[in-house]
């Protein structure tokens, strides 16, 4: 019922927010008579803020159409390489009209970026992808909003996430593949590669794991504490709701995006309040660059997808409450997950010194579990001054983290042994 009430509220707010948008434009456009009225700029800023607070935020586009690499402008075309009910495997195909550049790009490593299914869309890793495209062929997992998946497609569990990762690796081909997992997917990626190794299947040449809860018992954060202070039944009773009739996935049980967004904001309410006030002041001052930066950030931050209920509850129970992976007790579809079975994939773990989502040591725990990988094929990095998002987005990612990831991939872009 809560989801339906939210939809009624959204339907009510929609016309008001677009009225506010239209009013802001009429009061701010240079050619408008209303823009010449006393106080018009202040009223326009107020209406613009009202519009931003009331509008619905849909999934943003990746919007990567070109990059600068190898001294040339490289055109980028986004394609769907494989489509499954809950995820699309996207490839960012690079094109150039320079023969030397084409030959160079042909020999560059293939990277699969496994994006989190933990609230925000895969577009949150736009900066990660854009930077990787300079020197790599790039794929990414683009998870589908669960409210858009018909109930006939069935449930989606954490085990299904693991199976999806395996399927994507096989589809691309493990021969020259390097897998980068960011945050939550470090756990199912490690499980998928472990199962493939135990069966004797080819595994990726390298695994790069960034800021993920491999062992959430180490340096627990507020996120870990939230997941462990309530029984699983509490999460099921309070956070799981039914998709209403106006979506393709009506009847499906989900953890709704609007509840997740409320939780995100509740973690730092003062920071968001200050940010919106600064946005209003920037509009008053005519500081359009800072105002546009605010819009871009919140267009991404406020777009939150619904998670399948089964997957969310599995993650809370398996990863955070029971810690089955580091305890060696996790079975996926009847197969025991044994990271020690991995031997021919190099391993790089990266953590942010100031990460308040996955604490220090949680990702590094992968080295203890992957005892079959020789020590000279394993590396760990702690990025000084970096928070959670800083290790995969922004200036610190581009200037500090990425060169280390690129060099590690280059080093092991050849068969083991």
Report the CATH number at residue 323.
3.40.50.1820
125 & 220 share domain: yes
User: Of 304, 303, 305, 307, nearest to 253 (Cα)?
Assistant: 307
Q: Domain of 74?
A: 66-232+307-411
> Considering the domain boundaries, does residue 245 fall inside one?
no
193 & 95 share domain: yes
> Considering the domain boundaries, does residue 250 fall inside one?
no
* Residue-level pLDDT, tens digit, the chain, 417 residues: 788 777 777 777 778 887 888 888 888 887 787 777 888 888 888 888 888 887 777 888 999 999 999 889 999 999 999 999 999 999 999 999 999 999 999 999 999 999 999 888 999 999 999 999 999 999 999 999 999 999 999 999 999 999 999 999 999 999 889 999 999 999 999 999 999 999 999 999 999 999 999 999 999 988 888 888 999 999 999 999 999 998 999 999 999 988 887 777 777 788 888 888 888 888 888 888 888 888 888 888 888 899 999 999 999 999 999 999 999 999 999 999 999 999 999 999 999 999 988 999 999 999 999 999 999 999 999 999 999 989 999 999 999 999 999 999 999 997 655
- Angle between helix 2-26 and helix 40-54 axes, rounded to 10 deg: 160
Sheet holding 206-210, edge to edge: 66-69, 72-84, 87-95, 137-143, 110-114, 177-182, 206-210, 346-352, 378-383
| CA count, 13 A, side-chain hemisphere, 40 | 14
* Domain count of the fold of the chain: 2
314 & 200 share domain: yes
Burial grade of 167 (CB within 10 A; 0-12, 13-18, 19 or more): middle
> Considering the domain boundaries, does residue 206 fall inside one?
yes
Strand-strand pairing, 253-255 and 307-308 = antiparallel
42 & 178 share domain: no
401 & 333 share domain: yes
> Considering the domain boundaries, does residue 252 fall inside one?
no
112 & 174 share domain: yes
> Considering the domain boundaries, does residue 109 fall inside one?
yes
| CA count, 13 A, side-chain hemisphere, 162 | 24
C-alpha distances in Å from residue 335, one per residue of 329, 331, 340, 368, 373: 10, 5, 14, 20, 21
- The pair of structure tokens assigned to 155 is 């449930």
208 & 323 share domain: yes
Q: Which helix (H) or strand (E) holds 184?
A: none
Tokens 């190898």 belong to which residue? Answer: 70
C-alpha distances in Å from residue 238, one per residue of 24, 95, 255, 259, 361: 38, 49, 9, 10, 31
312 & 293 share domain: no
Per the CB < 8 A criterion, the answer to whether 156 and 224 are in contact is no
Question: Pick from 242, 268, 301: which residue ends a domain?
Answer: 301
226 & 365 share domain: yes
208 & 193 share domain: yes
- The pair of structure tokens assigned to 220 is 């627990």
Separation of alpha carbons 327 and 189, rounded Å = 17
Per the CB < 8 A criterion, the answer to whether 80 and 89 are in contact is yes
Residues 6+ apart with CB under 8 A from 225: none
284 & 321 share domain: no
173 & 145 share domain: yes
Separation of alpha carbons 42 and 49, rounded Å = 11
Partners of 138 in the beta sheet?
A: 92, 111
């Amino acid at each position: 019922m809560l989801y339906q009430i939210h939809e009624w509220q959204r339907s009510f707010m929609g016309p008001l927010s677009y009225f506010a948008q239209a009013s802001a434009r009429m009061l701010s456009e240079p050619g408008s008579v209303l823009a010449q009225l006393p106080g018009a700029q202040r009223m326009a800023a107020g209406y613009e803020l009202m519009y931003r607070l009331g509008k619905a935020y849909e999934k943003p586009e990746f919007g990567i159409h070109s990059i600068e690499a190898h001294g040339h402008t490289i055109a980028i075309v986004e394609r769907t390489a494989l489509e499954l009910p809950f995820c699309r495997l996207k490839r960012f195909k690079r094109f150039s009209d320079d023969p030397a550049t084409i030959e160079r790009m042909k020999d560059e490593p293939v990277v699969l970026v496994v994006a989190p299914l933990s609230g925000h869309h895969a577009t949150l890793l736009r900066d990660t992808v854009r930077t990787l495209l300079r020197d790599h062929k790039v794929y990414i997992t683009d998870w589908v909003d669960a409210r858009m998946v018909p109930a006939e497609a069935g449930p989606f569990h954490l085990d299904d996430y693991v199976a999806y990762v395996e399927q994507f690796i096989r589809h691309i081909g493990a021969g020259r593949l390097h897998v980068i997992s960011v945050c939550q997917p470090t756990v199912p990626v490690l499980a998928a590669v472990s199962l493939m190794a135990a069966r004797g299947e080819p595994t990726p040449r390298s695994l790069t794991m960034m800021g993920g809860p491999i062992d959430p018992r180490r340096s627990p954060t507020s996120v870990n504490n939230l997941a462990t202070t309530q029984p699983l039944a509490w999460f099921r009773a309070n956070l799981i709701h039914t998709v209403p009739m106006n979506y393709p996935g009506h009847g499906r049980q989900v953890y709704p995006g609007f509840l997740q967004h409320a939780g995100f904001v509740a973690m730092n309410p003062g920071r968001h309040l200050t940010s919106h006030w600064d946005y209003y002041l920037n509009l008053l001052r005519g500081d359009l660059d800072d105002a546009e930066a605010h819009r871009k950030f919140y267009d991404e931050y406020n777009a939150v997808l619904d998670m399948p209920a089964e997957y969310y509850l599995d993650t809370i129970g398996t990863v955070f409450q029971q810690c089955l992976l580091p305890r060696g007790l996790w079975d996926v579809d009847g197969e025991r997950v044994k990271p020690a079975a991995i031997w021919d994939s190099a391993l790089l773990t990266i953590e942010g010194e100031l990460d308040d989502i996955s604490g220090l040591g949680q990702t590094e725990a992968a080295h203890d579990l992957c005892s079959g990988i020789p020590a000279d094929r394993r590396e760990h990095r702690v990025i000084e001054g970096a928070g959670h998002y800083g290790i995969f987005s922004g200036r610190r990612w581009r200037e500090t983290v990425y060169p280390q990831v690129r060099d590690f991939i280059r080093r092991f872009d050849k068969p083991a042994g």
